[in-house]
Amino acid sequence: MKELPGVGGLSYPTGVALWARDVFQSRFFRTRGKSADPEFCSGFDERFEVFWQELCERYPRRLLANRSKAALEWYFKHALAKNWAWILTFSQSAKLAAYAIFLRQDNPLHGLTRMRLVDFQTLDGQNELLRPLLWGALERCRQERIHMLEASGFAGEKQQVIDSLSPCSRNLDAWRYFYKAAQPGLAEQLKDRAVWDPSCLDGDASL
């Protein structure tokens, strides 16, 4: 992608080195994820509506886009029909405890196939549930020969879980999340970091 001269021959040894790194870390992830049992869903059932209502009740002062069953169906309908979106869920006592949504974000110019984590939500602050959900997505990426699983734009404890997996990282050339509050009172409230829990779904970055 950088089009640097004379580096074409380095692609294979670099790839082998990264592959060895991933193999080592994948064994660690598999060991840590044995107690979890995430599941893929083909769509958004009634559990998501119950989950959304509980999420609103538990975090009434958190800035969140609409994640009702109807809103999620509208948002991801076409992507699900083309198998461009994945829904992974984690249930406890037959209730939805957490879910993650991944969306296909390829780069055809460079022949890169990629899935992106566009949303993760959980009740009771169980952010560690993101780990087995990421592992499930990584396994499917490997099976379907998708080159990259990407996550960006998360804050706080969710980002800490992602960082704990020692991912490769890169700098972006522009902000993926930007806002301007027209009302001074709202702007003052949004200075409180506790009201924020951003993901690509909260803006237009996943459309």
Q: What are the pLDDT digits (tens) for 3-31?
A: 677 666 676 787 777 777 766 665 555 54
- For residue 207, being part of any structural domain is answered with no
Question: What domain count does the chain have?
Answer: 1
Q: Report which residue type is found at 161.
A: V
- For residue 7, being part of any structural domain is answered with no
101's tokens? 């949504």
Which residues, at least 6 apart from 132, have a Cβ–Cβ distance to it below 8 Å?
A: 33, 36, 37, 38, 90
Q: Which of 47-56, 66-75, 189-198 has the lowest mean pLDDT?
A: 189-198
CATH code: domain of residue 41: 3.40.630.30
- For residue 6, being part of any structural domain is answered with no
- Return the bridge partners of 150, or none: 116
Domain residue limits at 92: 21-167+178-202
- For residue 57, being part of any structural domain is answered with yes
What confidence score (pLDDT) does residue 33 get?
Answer: 47
- For residue 144, being part of any structural domain is answered with yes
Distance of CA 81 to the CA centre of its chain: 19
